[in-house]
Amino acid sequence: MQYRTLGRTGVQVSSLALGAMNFGRIGRTTQDEATAIVDAALEGGINVIDTADVYSAGESEELVGKAIAGRRDDIVLATKANMPMSDEPNHQGSSRRWLVTALDDSLRRLGVDHVDLYQIHRWDPNTSDEETLSTLTDLQRAGKIRYFGSSTFPAYRIVQAQWAAREHHLSRYVTEQPSYSILQRGIETHVLPVTEQYGLGVLVWSPLASGWLSGAIREGREVTTSRSTFMPDRFDLSIPANRARLEAVEQLAKVADEAGLTMIQLALGFVTAHPGVTSALIGPRTPDHLHAQLAAADTVLSADVLDAIDAIVAPGTDLAPHEKHDTPPALLDPSLRRR
C-alpha cells in the first residue's frame, strides 16, 4: 500500500480507501460481513474509511462504528451530510440548523466523539458559502471534526468556497470527493486543475465506474452485477452511451491482458496515477471483492499503458455525461435560465 499526504493537512492516507456505501441495505451487507471487510482492509494497509449519513438511512454509519470499535485512533474516519434524511424539508442541505444536528446524529451512530473528515455531500444552491463554512469552522473548533471537505462540487463552486473562506476568515475545505474513472474523465478538464491549484486532497469515488471496469461486464455476457439490479438504465445496452462504454471496455480489456493486469488493476492504477488524486475509494460488497481490489494497491501503470488508455477514452471525456452529479442546476431546470 502506498501512502500520500491528504492535501496540505499533513495527514498520511492510503492510496486506496474503503468506501462503506454498500454496508447495510444498499449492499445487503450484515454486521459480520462489514466487520470482516473492515478487518481485511486494515490488514491490507487501508487507513481511510468513508461513509455518509444517507447510506442506508444511517445503517452504514452504525455498521462502521461497530466494526472500528477499539481501534478508532488508527483510522482516518470520514462521513458526509447534506442529502435528504427524511421527507422533512429541513432534514437536508448545508444550513447551520441541519449540519449541527446531522453531525451529532452521525457521531452517535458511529459511536465516536469526532470524525477526521466531514464532507458536504453535494453543493447546496439554497445556502450561502459563508453559512456553511462558518458552521463547519465552529464544529471544527468544538473538536467534533478535524477537517472538512466538499463532495462532487462543480469546479467553479470549489473556487467560490475557497474565496469565501478567505474573505470571511473561516476555515476552508481541504478535500474534494469527485467521481472519476477511465470512463468518466470529465474532472480532468476543470475540477482537478482547481484542486491542484488550491492544494486540496482528492478522494475519488466510483473508480470502477459502477462495475463497468470490474471485469464482470463484457460483450456477450448477461449483466448481473449488484448495481445493475437497482440502476438498470445504466446497463441497458440499447442506450448509446452504454454501448459506447461496452466498446471501450472491450478495448481496455485487451490493454489489460497485454500488460498482464486485471481490469480492476488497470482501473485503479489509472486513477491513482493522476498527480491530483490522493486516494481511490473502493466500495466492496464482499471480502472477495475487497481482496480483488487490494491486489491493485501497488499497481503502477507504464507510460505505454496510460497512452493506450488515452487513445481509447480521450482525456477530459465523460462517456456518460448524463450521469454527472455536478451539473449546474440551470442546465436541469429550464425555469432557472429564463427571466
Q: Which residues are catalytic?
A: 55
Task: Render 266-288 in DSSP notation, one character per residue.
Answer: HHHHHHHHSTT--EEEE--SSHH
Q: Cβ–Cβ contacts within 10 Å for residue 130, how many?
A: 14
Length of the chain measured in residues:
339
Q: Grid coordinates in use for 207? A: 473508480
**Cβ-contact 17, 278 below 8 angstroms:** no
CA distance 262 to 182: 14
Q: Cβ–Cβ contacts within 10 Å for residue 198, how many?
A: 17
92: left (phi over 0), alpha (psi -120 to 50) or beta: beta
Per-residue CA distances from 237 to 116, 213, 223, 240 (Å): 41, 16, 10, 7
Report which residue type is found at 28. R
DSSP letter for 232, please: G
- Identify which of 94, 248, 279 has the alpha carbon closest to the alpha carbon of residue 177: 279
